[in-house]
Amino acid sequence: MKQLLFLIWVLTLVSNATSSCNKRNGSGCIEQNWYADADGDGLGDPNVSVFSCDPPQGYVANGNDPDDNSNSNEGETCPPKEIFIGPNAFTLIPVDLSVRGSCNQQLPYSPMVTMTTNGQNRVFSSNSIPNHKVGLFGMVQGSLNPNAISENNRSYSVPLNPGIANNITPLLNTNTGPAYDFGILLNGVLLDPEAAEPFPHEGMFSPNVNWEWNLDAMMIDLGLDCNNAHVQPSGKYHYHGAPTLYLQSMNITGKEMALVGYAADGFPIYYKYGYRVPDDPNSGIVALNSSYELKSGTRPGDGVTAPCGAYNGVYTNDWKFSVGRGDLDECNGRIGVTPEFPNGTYYYVITDGFPFLPRYLRGNPSSDFKKH
């Protein structure tokens, strides 16, 4: 019995000594595994590690990169995963589209909007104030961006009988940047999908600017509220995607088409739903899908003059139009009948997926929507 107790005592001492060695050295610091991070992405190789108090140079605590390889990007200088726009840091990975800033602010202004006809034109007059709650904006703690919402009184004229142009007009000019707002909602607030955040993210007036690679406001955190909207330095509130609370105020059920505004070329804009067969109002209502998809593979850039790395959707140029993939054309629209246009018209659709709001105009845009 004494021999058994002695054996247990010895084993206990050995166990305690081993445990102590695995946790602390003589100076009392806590030891742990550190993993080699050859490619410098903050994630180490789980198969290459050391056990010590402090990490050797090139080692990290997270060992979740079994493909870690310093040669995998040899000769390539990819932009950092985190960039700065103004004082704020942004990660170049897509955001969760369901996560936006809260809309709990009631504006001190009253929305003012009229829609009239003047000869062959449809005219909107608006103070650019939405008819719903918004996020927190301005120079206050917790704001989504530093620009406070203010009244911007403007008039916008579009043709009553628009025509399809010979060529489509992109909202983004790849030489000079955003060229046009897309359109205006019936509540008088602009639809302005294109951000002004070109590569290499040194500011839109940088001599190195590359507008072919422009960040998409819906895919990264640019301070959008729950309405997919934020504020320009002028104080103008504008939408980059589906205007959530405005749509809720319209009580859209998905059982009928819902006219929500007009584009800069005069063609109508509908939210999401359309007839299953474009020219048959008795064919039933369905959610319409865009024909855009994420490109596969990696961007062709060198990381200096254009971005490299895998296509992940944060740049508008990460996406491509694929004929027949969805219900809509390159301009996120189609020709068909609608309740307001029973004889047929071209119309645009706001969709759940990219491009969210159209990025091209099928007709000739009104100069009232021109940015420069």
Q: Distance between CA atoms of 354 and 160, rounded to whole angstroms?
A: 28
User: Same domain, yes or no, for 220 and 310?
Assistant: yes
Locus of tokens 């294109």? 194
Q: Could you list the residue range(s) of the whole structural domain that residue 32 is in? A: 28-71
pLDDT band (50, 70, 90) for residue 329: very high
Q: Is residue 334 part of a domain?
A: yes
| Paired strand residues for 118 | 121
Average pLDDT, the chain: 87
User: Same domain, yes or no, for 127 and 167?
Assistant: yes
- Among 11, 45, 71, give the residue marking a domain's end: 71
User: Same domain, yes or no, for 60 and 122?
Assistant: no
- Among 18, 45, 71, give the residue marking a domain's end: 71
Counting the structural domains of the chain, the total is: 2
Q: Is residue 16 part of a domain?
A: no
Q: Is residue 15 part of a domain?
A: no
- Among 19, 38, 71, give the residue marking a domain's end: 71
Q: Distance between CA atoms of 297 and 318, rounded to whole angstroms?
A: 10
Task: Find the range with the poorest average confidence among 71-75, 191-195, 199-203, 213-217.
Answer: 71-75
pLDDT 10s digits, 13-26? 334 434 333 444 44
Q: What's the whole-number mean pLDDT along residues 217-229?
A: 95
pLDDT band (50, 70, 90) for residue 257: very high
pLDDT 10s digits, 196-215? 999 998 888 888 899 999 99
Locus of tokens 């120079």? 139
Q: Is residue 315 part of a domain?
A: yes
pLDDT more than 70, % of the chain = 81
Q: Is residue 190 part of a domain?
A: yes
User: Same domain, yes or no, for 355 and 235?
Assistant: yes
Q: What's the whole-number mean pLDDT along residues 342-355?
A: 98
User: Same domain, yes or no, for 55 and 90?
Assistant: no
User: Same domain, yes or no, for 105 and 36?
Assistant: no
User: Same domain, yes or no, for 294 and 146?
Assistant: yes
**R_g of the chain, CA atoms, integer Å:** 28
Q: Is residue 225 part of a domain?
A: yes
Is the pLDDT at 72 greater than 60? The verdict is no
User: Same domain, yes or no, for 136 and 47?
Assistant: no
User: Same domain, yes or no, for 46 and 121?
Assistant: no
User: Same domain, yes or no, for 297 and 232?
Assistant: yes
User: Same domain, yes or no, for 256 and 199?
Assistant: yes
| pLDDT at residue 334 in the model | 99
User: Same domain, yes or no, for 185 and 56?
Assistant: no
Give 32 or 280, the one with higher predicted confidence: 280
pLDDT 10s digits, 295-327? 999 999 988 899 999 999 999 999 999 999 999
Q: Is residue 233 part of a domain?
A: yes
* CB contact at 8 A, 161 and 134: no
Q: Distance between CA atoms of 156 and 188, rounded to whole angstroms?
A: 9
pLDDT band (50, 70, 90) for residue 287: very high
E strand spans, 26-163:
32-36, 49-52, 59-60, 82-85, 88-91, 113-118, 121-126, 154-159
Q: Is residue 328 part of a domain?
A: yes
Q: Distance between CA atoms of 84 and 221, rounded to whole angstroms?
A: 12
Q: In what order do the strands lie in the sheet with 121-126?
A: 113-118, 121-126, 154-159
* CB contact at 8 A, 230 and 276: no
Q: Distance between CA atoms of 74 and 61, rounded to whole angstroms?
A: 24
pLDDT band (50, 70, 90) for residue 43: confident
| pLDDT at residue 66 in the model | 66
| pLDDT at residue 304 in the model | 87
